[in-house]
Chain A
Amino acid sequence: MSKLDKARLIDSECLSGEFYFQSLIEQAYENMLLSDGDIERLQYECLNLLAVKSEQYNAGDSSSVRVEVAQSLMASILFTLGLTLKAYQNPGDAAEALRNGSVQALYERGRKRIDTLLSAAKVIHKRLTDRLVETPNVFYRSTLVNAVNGFFKLYNADFAAQEIHITADYPLYNPVPKLAGIEFISAYLKAAYNENQFLACFARGDIHHLLCGYAENYAGLLMNIYEPVLISALGCVIANADSRHLDLTKGVLIHLNDMFFCMTDGEILAALQSAADELNRLFSFSPELAAYIKQSLPLIAKNVRLTLKLGSLGRVFITPVYP
Chain B
Amino acid sequence: MSFELLPFASGIIQKQAVNEIIKLNNYTAHYGLTLTPQQAIELAETRTIALRDNGRIEFGGGVIDRIIREFSDSPYLSSQNYAETLHDLIEAFYYYKNETMDLISDEDMIKFMKISFDGVCRGSTDLLAGKELHRLAENLKHRRPADYSEDEQSIEEDEDEQA
A residues sitting closer than 8 Å to B (CB atoms) are 21-22, 25-26, 29-30, 39, 42-44, 46-47, 50-51, 54-55, 58, 61-68, 70-71, 74, 78
Q: Write out the residue numbers on chain B whose beta carbons fall within 8 Å of the beta carbon of A78.
A: 3
Q: How far is the CA of A54 from the CA of B62 in the complex (A)?
A: 12
Nearest 7 interchain pairs by C-beta:
A51-B59, A64-B58, A61-B105, A70-B57, A63-B62, A64-B56, A29-B1
Closest to A61 in B: B105
| Min distance, Cβ A181 to any Cβ of chain B, angstroms | 18
Closest to A63 in B: B62
Q: Write out the residue numbers on chain A whose beta carbons fall within 8 Å of the beta carbon of B59.
A: 47, 50-51, 54-55, 63
Q: Write out the residue numbers on chain B whose beta carbons fall within 8 Å of the beta carbon of A46.
A: 5
From A22, A64, A74, B6 is in contact (CB under 8 Å) with A74
**Are B3 and A64 in contact (CB-based, < 8 A)?**
no
Given the contacts A47-B8, A62-B102, A67 and B55 also touching, CB distance less than 8 Å = yes
Closest to A55 in B: B59
| Min distance, Cβ A39 to any Cβ of chain B, angstroms | 7
From A30, A47, A64, A74, B97 is in contact (CB under 8 Å) with A64
With A61-B107, A63-B60 given, can you name 7 additional A-B contacts, CB distance below 8 Å?
Answer: A26-B1, A30-B1, A43-B5, A63-B58, A64-B62, A64-B94, A67-B56
Q: How far is the CA of A62 from the CA of B2 in the complex (A)?
A: 30
Q: Write out the residue numbers on chain B whose beta carbons fall within 8 Å of the beta carbon of A68.
A: 55
| Min distance, Cβ B6 to any Cβ of chain A, angstroms | 7
**Are A62 and B106 in contact (CB-based, < 8 A)?**
yes
Q: How far is the CA of A273 from the CA of B5 in the complex (A)?
A: 49
**Are B12 and A44 in contact (CB-based, < 8 A)?**
yes
Sample of 23 A–B contacts (CB below 8 Å): A21-B3, A22-B3, A30-B1, A43-B5, A44-B12, A47-B8, A50-B9, A58-B102, A61-B106, A62-B102, A63-B58, A63-B59, A63-B60, A63-B62, A63-B63, A63-B66, A65-B58, A66-B55, A66-B57, A66-B102, A68-B55, A70-B6, A74-B5
| Min distance, Cβ A69 to any Cβ of chain B, angstroms | 8
Interface string of B100-111 (1 = CB under 8 A from A): 001001110000
Q: Write out the residue numbers on chain A whose beta carbons fall within 8 Å of the beta carbon of B63.
A: 63-64
* Dominant SS among interface residues on chain A: helix
Q: How far is the CA of A30 from the CA of B5 in the complex (A)?
A: 18
Is B51 located at the chain interface by the 8 A CB criterion? yes
Interface string of B78-115 (1 = CB under 8 A from A): 00000000000000001001100010011100000000
Q: How far is the CA of A61 from the CA of B105 in the complex (A)?
A: 5
Interface positions of B from 89 to 144, Cβ below 8 Å from A: 94, 97-98, 102, 105-107
Given the contacts A47-B8, A47-B9, A70-B6, A65 and B57 also touching, CB distance less than 8 Å = yes
Closest to B98 in A: A66
Q: How far is the CA of A78 from the CA of B4 in the complex (A)?
A: 11
Q: Write out the residue numbers on chain A whose beta carbons fall within 8 Å of the beta carbon of B98.
A: 66
Q: Write out the residue numbers on chain A whose beta carbons fall within 8 Å of the beta carbon of B106.
A: 61-64
Closest to B97 in A: A64
| Min distance, Cβ B91 to any Cβ of chain A, angstroms | 13
From B2, B62, B105, B107, A22 is in contact (CB under 8 Å) with B2
Closest to A42 in B: B3
Given the contacts A47-B12, A62-B102, A67 and B6 also touching, CB distance less than 8 Å = yes
